Structure 1
Amino acid sequence: MSGPKPGQKTVLITGCTPGGIGHALALEYHKQGLHVIATARRPEVLSGMAGMGMSAVALDVADAESIKACHAEVVKITGGKLDILVNNAGRTHTHPATDLDMDDVRQTFEANVFGTMAMVKAFVDLLIAAQGLIINTASLSAVTAYLFGSAYSATKGAVVSYSRGLRMELAPLGVRVMCTMTGTTRSNTTAHGDRTLPPDSLYQRVRDIFQWRLTFSQTNSTMPTDQYARRLVADSLKPEVPLLLRSWFGRPDWFWYGGLAKLVWFGHTLGEWIVDTICWRMFKGPQLQKALKDEQRVKKIT
């Protein structure tokens, strides 16, 4: 396994399976001259990246022993320093709040929240040694009313809040924290397997809207993965500047990019009610309301 050249910066990215955002980020960081440590639960999917000179390491962010083994491998590769940690690994979760399976929800929190926390805890020593940068992956769903996405939104909201506290705690140690407010971007999310409505779901009457919602992120203003990756990598490599100037001239603490990101940022800046109003229309709220009211009316008659 090849390692970094003297003076070459290093970046570890979780969830680098080809076709996803992590894979695109690995290719872009490699292009920009960093030594990339690409990880995935199944390391065989990383063979193409290893052939390009990247380091390929097995990693399951929901497994403490896997994280420990990965840390040991990264120490060997980098000599005990890590310039950038990108917490990209995660899973989608589209299901009505009233139909959630709690074991399924726990798995989503393990991947999206606890895995991020565990990676930071495990690799903070290497990041401190390099005065490095952590990039945590959140989503527009953290600040929007995301129909049938309450569990997923909860995980991304947790990442946002976690990142705020983490930024303050690590600043005195020279480690910065960047949080991505990712919009609709081409990814592997729809390849994880679709959930289905249970027979007694309150939303069987509108299952067509549910089916439409399953692929929303891949069919609405969806940004190409490589375009998203180029912007994120470029912004993460910008110089550090004072807080008041950071969003315009240096590395931003908050990275708003992807399909619909500008719209949500603008609405979020003006007020939550604006975002909720737009989402009500965007996610077919009027059709949903009419269908469910019609169903209730029929039940009362019969």
Structure 2
Amino acid sequence: MGPQPGQKTVLITGCTPGGIGHALAMEFHAKGVHVIATARNTSVLAEMAALGMSTLALDVTKAESIKTCHDEVAKLTGGKLDFLVNNAGRTHTHPATDIDLDDVRETFETNVFGVMAMCQAFVDQLIAAKGLIINIASLAAITPYAFGAVYCASKGAVVSFSRTLRLELKPFGVRVMVAMTGTVRSQIASKTHRTLPENSLYQRVKDVFERRLTFSQNNGTVDTATYARKLVRSALTYESPLLLRAWFGRPDWFWAGGWSTLVWTATWLGEWVLDFALYRKIGLIKIEKVLREEQARQKKLT
């Protein structure tokens, strides 16, 4: 079933149930927008299809899959797309000194190159509708999220890409919103996690690393549906002049989720605030204690 005449449309990547994409799809649907929900495996979208949403297979790391999705969306919508939500993403928690570069490349393929490829592929339909691109970024883009250097780098790239894309697409009437997302309930904690190699500097505090693996699900975590309601409300609100967007109407920057207020405040107060808070919250200060104890033992031996 496709959209009704005059009905707005939204394409969302990464709509597997339990995540942000699924919650956004449900909220857009509730607001009367025709949802085109995507996932690599469409069988997980059966319940959404039963509600009247369109469901398509999409792997944002594969050019052929993006092209096929583009063409199918064009048939559904008549060549116009009001909203593109780039949500599909991959978590990556590992100390910067323990990374495997092939693993890193896979993360960038999804989190960065997939976003770029989707914007490029669907720009024609977005221009036709004078639509809105919503790139789901993260507070990690601007925070020293320890053991998340790769994830932080990937989301930082999305932020930089988005703010430039905003200017490049302005003449064509297409808006770009960056969702600076804090801790939100998702399926991340249920996934298979990376482990520390035997020679890791952090084997001394393995327990700190293991707690960090599920940090986003245990620290100020916001309900997924609550986050989705706020984002969809912002996406569907009125346009305001550039100078007023930070306070009124559809924003260029959307901040929500756990820790978002603190991080937003810290952007004004200085980076030291986040360094101080996260160093202690995540538990890196424990390494200092362990190293001091090791040094003391070494002195006794000598």
**TM above 0.5:** yes
Matched, 1:7 2:3: no
Structure 2 equivalent of residue 285 of structure 1: 284
Shift in Å, 1:296? 5.1
Structure 2 equivalent of residue 230 of structure 1: 229
Matched, 1:137 2:136: yes
Shift in Å, 1:297? 5.0
3-state SS in 2 of match to 1:57: strand
Q: Percent identity?
A: 65
Unaligned runs of 5+ in 2: none
Structure 1 equivalent of residue 152 of structure 2: 153
Matched, 1:95 2:91: no
Structure 2 equivalent of residue 207 of structure 1: 206
Task: Tell me how far apart the structure 1 counterparts of residues 205 and 154 of structure 2 sit (CA, whole Å).
Answer: 25
Task: Tell me how far apart the structure 1 counterparts of residues 93 and 21 of structure 2 sit (CA, whole Å).
Answer: 21
Task: List 4+ stretches of structure 1 deviating above 6 A.
Answer: none
Task: Tell me how far apart the structure 1 counterparts of residues 44 and 82 of structure 2 sit (CA, whole Å).
Answer: 24
Task: Tell me how far apart the structure 2 counterparts of residues 237 and 94 of structure 1 sit (CA, whole Å).
Answer: 34
Q: Is the 8 A contact 2:208 2:284 kept in 1?
A: no
Task: Tell me how far apart the structure 2 counterparts of residues 292 and 39 of structure 1 sit (CA, whole Å).
Answer: 48
Task: Tell me how far apart the structure 2 counterparts of residues 22 and 295 of structure 1 sit (CA, whole Å).
Answer: 46
Structure 1 equivalent of residue 69 of structure 2: 70
Task: Tell me how far apart the structure 2 counterparts of residues 35 and 49 of structure 1 sit (CA, whole Å).
Answer: 12
Q: Is the 8 A contact 1:268 1:275 kept in 2?
A: no
3-state SS in 2 of match to 1:248: coil
Unaligned runs of 5+ in 1: none
Shift in Å, 1:5? 0.3
Shift in Å, 1:135? 0.3
The residue type equivalent to 1:263 in the other structure is L
Shift in Å, 1:271? 1.2
3-state SS in 1 of match to 2:134: strand
Shift in Å, 1:184? 0.2
The residue type equivalent to 1:232 in the other structure is L
Q: Sort the Cα spacing of 1:297 and 1:200 in 2 relative to 1 into closer, same or farther, 3 A.
A: farther
Shift in Å, 1:293? 3.8
TM-score by length of 1: 0.97
Structure 2 equivalent of residue 185 of structure 1: 184
The residue correspondences of 1:1-302 to structure 2 (distance < 5 A) are 2-295=1-294, 298=297, 301=301
Shift in Å, 1:245? 1.0
Q: Sort the Cα spacing of 1:296 and 1:151 in 2 relative to 1 into closer, same or farther, 3 A.
A: farther
Aligned length: 301
Q: Sort the Cα spacing of 1:296 and 1:78 in 2 relative to 1 into closer, same or farther, 3 A.
A: farther
The residue type equivalent to 1:153 in the other structure is C
Computed over aligned residues only, the root mean square deviation of the Cα atoms, in angstroms, reads: 1.2
1:44-69 deviations in Å (ceiling 9; x for gaps):
10000000000000000011110011
Q: Sort the Cα spacing of 1:293 and 1:73 in 2 relative to 1 into closer, same or farther, 3 A.
A: farther
Task: Tell me how far apart the structure 1 counterparts of residues 53 and 5 of structure 2 sit (CA, whole Å).
Answer: 15
Task: Tell me how far apart the structure 1 counterparts of residues 60 and 139 of structure 2 sit (CA, whole Å).
Answer: 23
Task: Tell me how far apart the structure 1 counterparts of residues 203 and 91 of structure 2 sit (CA, whole Å).
Answer: 21
Task: Tell me how far apart the structure 2 counterparts of residues 298 and 126 of structure 1 sit (CA, whole Å).
Answer: 66
TM-score by length of 2: 0.97
Shift in Å, 1:261? 0.4
The residue type equivalent to 1:171 in the other structure is K
Q: Sort the Cα spacing of 1:147 and 1:8 in 2 relative to 1 into closer, same or farther, 3 A.
A: same
1:213-254 deviations in Å (ceiling 9; x for gaps):
000000111000000000000001111111121122101100
Q: Sort the Cα spacing of 1:48 and 1:200 in 2 relative to 1 into closer, same or farther, 3 A.
A: same
Q: Is the 8 A contact 1:13 1:87 kept in 2?
A: yes
3-state SS in 1 of match to 2:279: helix
Task: Tell me how far apart the structure 2 counterparts of residues 8 and 196 of structure 1 sit (CA, whole Å).
Answer: 47
Shift in Å, 1:298? 4.3
The residue type equivalent to 2:284 in the other structure is G
Shift in Å, 1:272? 1.4
Task: Tell me how far apart the structure 2 counterparts of residues 132 and 296 of structure 1 sit (CA, whole Å).
Answer: 60
Q: Is the 8 A contact 2:12 2:25 kept in 1?
A: yes
Q: Is the 8 A contact 1:30 1:36 kept in 2?
A: yes
My pick for the range that moved more, 113-122 or 245-254, is 245-254
Q: Sort the Cα spacing of 1:95 and 1:85 in 2 relative to 1 into closer, same or farther, 3 A.
A: same
